[in-house]
Chains A and B, each alone.
Chain A
């Protein structure tokens, strides 16, 4: 499964495309797409240039957690620096 992620344009924080087509900071609330559909969704997301700096696809498992080759990188993006647990989304949890 895939999800769409990017960095929000005005402040750069990590966001994911949600089921309601709005950006969310919560990966578990992100919309999940079959690999075949994901490309079109990404292309549409990339057109939203006023909202995000860039957008790309990540692999997620059935529970919405990062998966595949970039698991560590996307886990760090989703949570925050592993050396500063007081920063990033992990600090709010």
Chain B
């Protein structure tokens, strides 16, 4: 894992000290709210419906046990005993008092954490594949590149006041778990026909009120040019992006109004100017960052585990958890474990202080001290020995973290919605809870198979509804909550934007609607088709018919 050098430590400490002064001046009345708001937002501090909300960065979703333990302590000391993992691999606290935030940030700085780049019109915290460095299918660990982007982008003077926020995601696996095609910039590390590794550069994807799948503007970018090429993209955007209309200020609007080709030409022209001007990291610096992510020393193990096989045969629930929540590891005898933060009827992404501390302990004992946060609001233990899987399962179960539903109908992404968020038009969480309860039977869920339901409480689409196999968008109709259903979206390598199914449904109808959609799929599916595959084969009609028949 990355460890702070003296520059990182100094930057974070100075930032906390600076913010402490700003908070003091706000409390004394020296600063008005209008003056203070941009300053607090630069430190991840929002004001929501009930209280302030602090969003803490988890760069590319990687955490140590020590950091997770501290997140739990912070939840207890400064908040109401829980935190909420977000769709950007971050964690949010919903109730911190302004007066406590500087101390809270000091506590985070002690474990190399902060709230920088979690808000404002800057390059936000970089996200990545939660299986990075563990999965057998990746070309190489994408996190050194994420870290390079982090160091380049943090407090970048030229890009601290962009037209709008800017999100970059990186993956190095053919199966996209980082939703790179719906980011401002998505990077896919792959090996070309000549056997060289480099990035496919995708620009202009995004969700929100104008959803787009991104365009590839460069098929192959040699790795060593990553930063200069990103700088060229950001320069074109910073200059040409609209600042007159907040809703048209994201890079996706620029790319899609100009056309991807024209945008790519402008980037290439800019890049030609700056390519050799020393923006790219020297080889030694790249090697230094790489070294932080050197793979842990895995024991030489047989890929078969007798202990595991025995437990699998004797415990059906464990066997299901194994099927649904674990994933192939690159090292023989190891597995990747997913921790679902979607208990049946629970709040997606929420986790208590006690659970955070338990996860920290389990990771310390069984996962080489590493934890990941996922954009689907779950956690991952990346390096667990197969021999230890049952012990890990039992330890997770003891703190209610062993729900076997990863990728299933109850593994729902939901934004905080009107229960917390001042931008929301409707509630999201109660809809997620009721769908989850409707499909509580885990056997039924496994039979339904992969089905991604994503729920947003407003058009800003923090709940990624556009890329849900079934997407649900909460809207306000004359003071009443209504829900618009979209179908056929995907945020993965087969990215697509869902299509609106028809008129909005009441909160009572929407849970039935999901059941009807699942019914059509189960009736019409062929072979091993997922819901999305069946939808794409049949088209929207049979699903729409089921939704609106005699309704």
Contacts and interface: CB of A to CB of B under 8 A. Distances in A.
Interface of A: 7, 9-14, 49-50, 53-54, 68-73, 76-77, 80-84, 87-88
B439 interface: no
Given A12-B97, A76-B418, A83-B429, 15 more contacts: A10-B98, A11-B98, A12-B52, A12-B96, A53-B98, A69-B479, A71-B479, A76-B49, A77-B50, A81-B50, A81-B419, A81-B429, A82-B427, A83-B430, A84-B347
Contact of A12 (B29, B98, B429): B98
Q: Which of B50, B52, B418, B478 has the most CB of A within 10 A?
A: B50
Closest 10 CB pairs of A and B: A11-B97, A12-B51, A81-B419, A12-B52, A50-B29, A83-B429, A69-B479, A10-B99, A77-B49, A49-B32
A68 B51 CA distance: 23
Contacts of A7: 47, 51-52
Interface string B318-356: 000000000000000000000000000001000000000
A69 B427 CA distance: 15
A68 B99 CA distance: 34
A54 B51 CA distance: 12
B481 interface: yes
A54 B26 CA distance: 13
A88 to B, nearest CB: 6
Contact of B80 (A14, A70, A87): A87
Contacts of A68: 479
A80 B33 contact: no
A54 B479 contact: no
Interface of B: 26-29, 32-33, 47, 49-52, 80, 95-99, 347, 418-420, 427, 429-430, 433, 476, 478-481
B324 to A, nearest CB: 25
Contacts of B99: 10-11
A88 B49 CA distance: 11
19 contacts: A7-B47, A7-B51, A9-B98, A11-B98, A53-B47, A54-B33, A69-B476, A69-B478, A73-B49, A76-B419, A77-B49, A80-B50, A83-B347, A83-B419, A83-B427, A83-B429, A83-B430, A83-B433, A88-B50
B365 to A, nearest CB: 31
Q: Which of A11, A12, A76, A87 has the most CB of B within 10 A?
A: A12
A10 B33 CA distance: 12
B50 A72 contact: no
Contacts of B29: 49-50
A73 B430 CA distance: 15
A82 B33 contact: no
Contacts of A54: 33, 47
Contact of B27 (A50, A69, A80): A50
Contacts of B27: 9-10, 50
Contacts of B28: 50
A70 B478 CA distance: 9
A82 B419 contact: yes
A72 B33 contact: no
A53 B50 contact: no
Given A7-B47, A82-B430, A72 B97 contact: no
A81 B419 CA distance: 5
A81 B427 CA distance: 10
A73 B426 CA distance: 8
A86 to B, nearest CB: 9
Contacts of B80: 87
A61 to B, nearest CB: 13
Contact of A72 (B95, B96, B347, B479): B479
A84 B479 CA distance: 22
Contact of B50 (A14, A49, A69, A70): A14
A25 to B, nearest CB: 11
A70 B98 contact: no
A81 B97 CA distance: 17
B49 A49 contact: no
A11 B52 CA distance: 7
A53 B498 CA distance: 39
A92 to B, nearest CB: 13
Contacts of A72: 418, 479-481
Contact of A70 (B51, B97, B433, B479): B479
Q: Which of B27, B28, B430, B479 has the most CB of A within 10 A?
A: B479
Contacts of B418: 72-73, 76
Nearest to A11: B97
A69 B477 CA distance: 9
Contacts of A11: 51-52, 97-99
A78 to B, nearest CB: 10
Contacts of B476: 69
A11 B193 CA distance: 58
Q: Which of A53, A54, A77 has the most CB of B within 10 A?
A: A53
Nearest to B50: A88
A49 B33 contact: yes
Contacts of B420: 81
Nearest to A69: B479
Contacts of A70: 479
A11 B32 CA distance: 16
B423 to A, nearest CB: 11
A71 B433 CA distance: 23
A80 B420 CA distance: 8
Contacts of B481: 72
A80 B32 CA distance: 27
B49 to A, nearest CB: 5
A15 B47 CA distance: 14
A7 B479 CA distance: 22
